[in-house]
């Protein structure tokens, strides 16, 4: 397929204009075929950018090491370039769109010299479904093309749906490393220095311009840029929700199923919860999505969710057959690994894979690495944000409904984060608006999923959307309240919960075993949706009674009491922090309902 063959009225000229600016050697259209995928992979291997993995251990799979500076999202270089600053809000970086476009046009000029310009027509959501959104990404990275082919639906079928005048979100991407005549990357991961990286969104014109990074969330523009930042703006305007949420299906021993969505910040357990293998007999969990949910009301008044993605871009470290068997199988073939370690027989290895490093490894920097378990200071062999890219269809727990364009009806929404103290294992909101309050105050320890932030320190990450909301977050809170108001039948609204799998003991051990044992909490959530859960009212919300959740192995009754207690002093400190540091940021944009919930919480805690 050639650019000359494109029948869409504006698409061809748009591509040619960008090619004129960026001056690539050639233009290639991603047609979505297996043959083209294989050809690109072969070229990448020949160029020394990645290595093929052992076909007996991991068929059809390859491993990349990125540049050490290009391992995660760059929040400090991510912009919401709305026409005015207030529309971007206090939590987003802002540059005037005219100024930003001028700067970036300068960077794009000649930036694809010596490279190929790939055209990726992609669909977020099943191709042709009424809820799906089409994007076209122009990129000079073959890594981006093959990852997008796993993460989204790419190719000729998308162009067919686009027809001659269909709408698409235009997405520019370049690694930002033009090649001088005859120069080659020599197998090195191409990217630009941090101060030249820009991950930019123009919400009014629904455009995405990305420059200088090849890493997932910065470069696979269908994911965080389109399906969250731009989609959240569309959702706000059109009355639906675009969220950083997993979607799972849970079935009781009686054969009754419910769908649950959950928002946890980056690297805080969405993939793991979406794929969990329950430890409680008779219960079953299946996977609909592990990172993004789009939710709209159906004609029956229920909120329905779809997963707009087609693959998983999952955190590798900590993933093992014990912790996440379904992810391990998903990534057992036809997968791409980024910043994992390599074994001598060409398989990947990472910290927490469930077995010791077999012999000498090549770490993610490309250096020899031998495990030294006595040395607590040893640098990890895999980067903490090393990732696997795997087709969702390969997941053993994938739910039969996962591609249903109608979506799945959501009964419960979970919010959560990484909190060593204060926040209990689970509590439930009194109603929708109180749930919005809980979502708005979520705090979590910073993880390695974003660069330039201090790992381990707590920050507020409302709805796990702090890095992904494409407009003023105060207005986003109001939008959630409005969606609740728009319900035709309030009793059909999802129940809202706040969970925390990450409590620690004084000596730094996990108080709760997590992973498959989280099914015990899901069971209580399931019962709470049916009104059969054993619950008590507390100052912070509705909580399980002491005997409502069966104890997992290794958890004593005393541990459970701690997991389910209300830490009054800790919560008063939360209130204080929200009141002085968090809510004031939003000024007039903060819905009054939320400050009123904060006042009520404080009064209840003081009376307790
Ligand atoms: P993104 O893809 O960045 O949005 O992350 P995610 O929310 O999907 O996080 P993921 O499930 O990949 O988990 C990130 C890390 O948290 C991994 O190292 C997991 O092993 C660890 N983790 C997940 N669930 C649990 C849990 O229940 N308890 C504990 N202790 N760790 C967990
Ligand atoms: C996250 O950081 O939340 C991710 C990975 O899911 S990325 O695609 O890089 O955003
Ligand atoms: Mn994510």
Share of the chain above pLDDT 90, in %: 96
Q: What is the pTM of this model?
A: 0.98
Q: Following DSSP, what letter does each residue of 540-599 receive, concatenated?
A: SSEEE-TTTSPPPTT--HHHHHHHT---HHHHHHHHHHIIIIIGGGGGGGS-HHHHHHHH
Q: Which residue has the tokens 């796990």?
A: 464
Widest pairwise Cα distance in the chain: 74
The DSSP element (H or E) to which 273 belongs, if any, is helix 270-274
Nearest to 288 by CA among 416, 412, 408: 408
Share of the chain above pLDDT 70, in %: 100
Residue 388 Cβ inside 6 Å of ligand 2? The answer reads no
ipTM score for this prediction: 0.99
As a whole number of angstroms, the distance between CA 9 and CA 166 comes to: 9
Q: Can 268 be counted among the known catalytic residues?
A: yes
Q: Is 385 annotated as a binding residue?
A: yes
Residue 453 is predicted with a pLDDT of 79
pLDDT in tens, 199-256: 999 999 999 999 999 999 999 999 999 999 999 999 999 999 999 999 999 999 999 9
Ligand 1 pocket check: which of 267, 386, 554 to mutate, most ligand atoms within 8 Å of Cβ?
A: 267
Name which residue sits closest to atom 23 of ligand 1, judged by CA. Answer: 269
Q: Looking at 50, 171, 225, 268, which residue is catalytic?
A: 268
Residue 394 is predicted with a pLDDT of 98
- What's the pLDDT band for 40 if we cut at 50, 70, 90? very high
Residue 449 is predicted with a pLDDT of 87
Torsion region of 505: left, alpha or beta (phi above 0 gives left; psi -120 to 50 gives alpha): beta
Residue 32 Cβ inside 6 Å of ligand 2? The answer reads no
pLDDT in tens, 15-25: 999 999 999 99
Q: Is 244 annotated as a binding residue?
A: yes
**φ, ψ at 51 (rounded to 5°):** -120, 145
pLDDT in tens, 251-279: 999 999 999 999 999 999 999 999 999 99
User: CA end-to-end span of the chain, whole Å?
Assistant: 69
């Amino acid at each position: 397929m050639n650019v000359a063959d494109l029948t869409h009225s504006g698409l061809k000229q748009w591509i040619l204009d960008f090619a004129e600016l960026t001056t690539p050697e050639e233009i290639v259209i991603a047609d979505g075929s297996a043959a083209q995928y294989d050809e690109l992979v072969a070229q990448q291997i020949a160029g020394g950018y990645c290595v093929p993995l052992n076909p007996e251990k991991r068929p059809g799979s390859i491993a990349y090491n990125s540049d050490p500076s290009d391992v995660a999202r760059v929040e400090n270089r991510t912009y919401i370039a709305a026409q005015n600053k207030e529309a971007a809000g206090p939590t987003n970086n802002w540059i005037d769109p005219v100024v930003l476009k001028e700067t970036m046009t300068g960077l794009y000029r000649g930036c694809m010299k010596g490279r190929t310009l790939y055209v990726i027509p992609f669909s977020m959501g099943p191709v042709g479904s009424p809820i799906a959104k089409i994007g076209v990404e122009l990129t000079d990275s073959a890594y981006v093309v093959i990852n997008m082919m796993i993460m989204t639906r790419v190719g000729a079928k998308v162009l067919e749906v686009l027809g001659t005048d269909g709408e698409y979100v235009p997405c520019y991407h370049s690694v930002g490393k033009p090649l001088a005549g005859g120069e080659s990357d020599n197998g090195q991961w191409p990217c630009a220095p941090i101060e030249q990286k820009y991950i930019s969104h123009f919400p009014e014109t629904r455009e995405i311009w990305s420059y200088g990074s090849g890493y997932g969330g910065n470069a696979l523009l269908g994911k965080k840029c389109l399906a969250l930042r731009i989609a959240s703006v569309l959702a706000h305007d059109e009355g639906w929700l675009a969220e950083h949420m997993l979607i799972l299906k849970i079935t009781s021993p009686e054969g009754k199923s419910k769908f649950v969505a959950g928002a946890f910040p980056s690297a805080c357990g969405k993939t793991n919860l979406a794929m969990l293998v329950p430890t409680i007999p008779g219960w079953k969990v299946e996977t609909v999505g592990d990172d993004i949910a789009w939710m709209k009301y159906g004609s029956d008044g229920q909120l329905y969710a779809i997963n707009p993605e087609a693959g998983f871009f999952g955190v590798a470290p900590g993933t093992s057959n014990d912790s996440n068997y379904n992810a391990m199988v998903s990534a057992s073939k036809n997968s791409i690994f980024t910043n994992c370690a390599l074994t001598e027989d060409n398989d990947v290895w990472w910290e927490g894979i469930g077995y010791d490093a077999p012999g000498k490894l090549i770490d993610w920097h490309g250096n020899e690495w031998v495990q030294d378990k006595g040395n607590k200071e040893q640098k990890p062999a895999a980067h903490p944000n090393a990732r696997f890219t795997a087709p969702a269809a390969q997941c053993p727990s994938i739910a039969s409904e996962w591609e249903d364009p109608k979506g799945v009806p959501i009964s419960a929404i979970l919010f959560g984060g990484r909190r060593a103290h204060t926040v209990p294992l689970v509590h439930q909101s009194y109603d929708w608006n109180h749930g919005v309050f809980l979502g708005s105050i979520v705090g979590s320890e910073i993880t390695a999923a974003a660069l330039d932030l201090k790992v381990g320190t707590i920050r507020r990450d409302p709805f796990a959307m702090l890095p992904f909301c494409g407009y003023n977050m105060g207005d986003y809170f109001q939008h959630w309240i409005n969606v609740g108001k728009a319900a035709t039948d309030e009793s059909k609204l999802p129940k809202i919960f706040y969970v925390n799998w990450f409590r620690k003991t004084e000596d730094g051990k996990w108080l709760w075993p997590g992973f498959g044992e989280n099914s015990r909490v899901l069971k209580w959530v399931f019962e709470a949706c049916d009104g059969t859960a054993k619950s008590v009212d507390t100052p912070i919300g509705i909580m399980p009674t002491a005997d409502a959740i069966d104890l997992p192995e290794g958890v004593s009754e005393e541990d459970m009491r701690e997991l389910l207690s209300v830490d009054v002093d800790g919560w008063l400190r939360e209130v204080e922090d929200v009141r002085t540091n968090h809510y004031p940021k939003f000024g007039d944009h903060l819905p009054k309902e939320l400050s009123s919930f904060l006042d009520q919480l404080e009064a209840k805690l003081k009376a307790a």
